[in-house]
Amino acid sequence: MRSFFTWSLLAAASLLPSTFAVPLRRQAIGVPVQPGDVSDIIISESNTLNGTFPGNKPPQMHPFAAEPDLRVDLVNTLGGAVNAYIAAQDPQGRVMFLLANGNWFYPTASDPNVPQAIPQNLAIPLGPEGSTTSLRLPGFFSSGRIFFAAGQLQFYTLRDASNGAAKLVMPDPLNPRDPSAGVFWGFAEMTYSAQGGLYANLSFVDFVGLPVGQRLTTTDGAPPQIVLGLARDAARQVCNAMVSRARQDNQPWDQLCQTDANGNILRVDAPGKYIAAHGGGFDNYWTSYVDQVWARFASEPLIINSQNHLGDMRCSTTSGQIVCPGGSRSFAKPSALDIFGCQGVFGRQDGDNDVILAATPRICAALQRSTLLLEGGQRQPQLPVGRYYLNSPTNWYAKATHDAELDGRGYAFAYDDVNPDGAPDASGAVVSPNADVWTLFVGGSR
């Protein structure tokens, strides 16, 4: 369901603002980026990784000697100069980067309020198009990301005032004034542990950018796991779809696109992320549809297939909210941000019991895909993929993203792995406790 990784919220009121002060000026196609400096950085949940080890001091001894390395092969299918940046958290809570020499680097942090640039060269240059750069990642780690960029990305730290731990501040795909905004980039997520081995994921919950594909071979003789990822020109494909949709329904789909000074598409942001970052937009987009859904299920049950021991749950809107028997809370009518972001009423809350934990992702996914008013939509999930995104309103970003995926796999919203029993795996993950070689195709699979 939600991504395996936790990119912790940096919640300090004294930090830079979390939204833009004024709405962005509407452009003909997308938002032209204007890369700024440290004063333009916006701190958010999605662009920080919070360390917990005091001072982020590197280990005095080499704790990785008894832990198996993870071999990673990076294949440059994009061409041109491409850099990789590898960030993660070690088992003791230190944040770290893998350097080109194969060692982990532990950045220090000095200021709790203003992000400080990391002076160390963090880039790992890839070879020319068609070449493979082989790395070994020493020991276990969590909350990892491998960034790939057709250029140089900028990374910063903040100091936790309570214990001196370092907090990484990473490139922000939502902020057109971010110092790295002018760079075409993408990423893959990974965790490597003694208990579960490798979990690696391709996710487009935040944005569509530089395409990446992946393949995992294992030591147990199992067939390779392959996720093809996005097409080579996915960012342009998705942006073109957003521009076309904006012309049809007069919603700011086209403003999800970010372009460079020459009009080249750099990335396409997800609508929930756009609303959260910029405020406004899509305000009444879902209102009529939600009203119709509430009306339908006031007179007939909304059956949620929990896909676990709870079986089918018969929910209703007769009270004005979605109520599922035995649930620890109910669901009020959601806003556009609640739906696109699967947050707010669809976010996980303290005290949520098994009924709510089962209902939440299935209701949000059904709204995203606009299947609740279709014949057969009274049971969720039930309808096949071919019935998703047929009617407006719907999440046109998710549809365009899946259309641009070479094999249809990879999250386009947080609960995008909700599917009927027996349906193919829609996530973009490779997983094995017996990982051998993890290969990433930087620029898209071929």
CATH level 3 topology of 286-392 = Metal Transport, Frataxin; Chain A (3.30.920)
CA angle 363, 366, 368 (to 5 degrees): 110
Amino acid code (one letter) for 273:
K
Contact 7, 261 (CB under 8 A): no
Q: What is the 3-state secondary structure (H, E, C) of 296-354?
A: HHHHCCEEEECCCCCCEEEEECCCCCEECCCCCCCECCCCHHHHHHCCHHHCCCCCCCH
> Taking the chain (446 residues) in consecutive chunks of 10 residues, what is each chunk's mean pLDDT?
34 33 49 96 91 89 68 96 97 96 94 96 97 95 97 96 92 96 97 95 96 97 96 97 95 96 95 86 95 98 97 98 98 97 96 98 98 98 95 97 95 93 88 97 90
Task: Please tell me the distance from the alpha carbon of residue 99 to that of residue 441, in angstroms, as a whole number.
Answer: 20
* Phi, psi torsion values for 387, nearest 5 degrees: -100, 0
- From 35, 39, 37, select the one nearest 261 (Cα to Cα): 35
- Structure confidence at residue 67 (pLDDT): 74
CATH match of 31-234+431-442 with 3.40.50.720: no
- Structure confidence at residue 28 (pLDDT): 57
Task: Please tell me the distance from the alpha carbon of residue 392 to that of residue 413, in angstroms, as a whole number.
Answer: 17
- Structure confidence at residue 398 (pLDDT): 97
Equal CATH topology for 31-234+431-442 and 286-392: no
CA 21 to chain centre: 24
Task: Please tell me the distance from the alpha carbon of residue 78 to that of residue 92, in angstroms, as a whole number.
Answer: 36
- Structure confidence at residue 30 (pLDDT): 86
Q: Which residues contact 85 (CB under 8 A, 6 or more apart)?
A: 97, 122, 123, 124, 146, 147, 149, 153, 155
- Structure confidence at residue 63 (pLDDT): 55
Q: pTM here?
A: 0.90
Domain boundaries, the chain: 31-234+431-442, 286-392
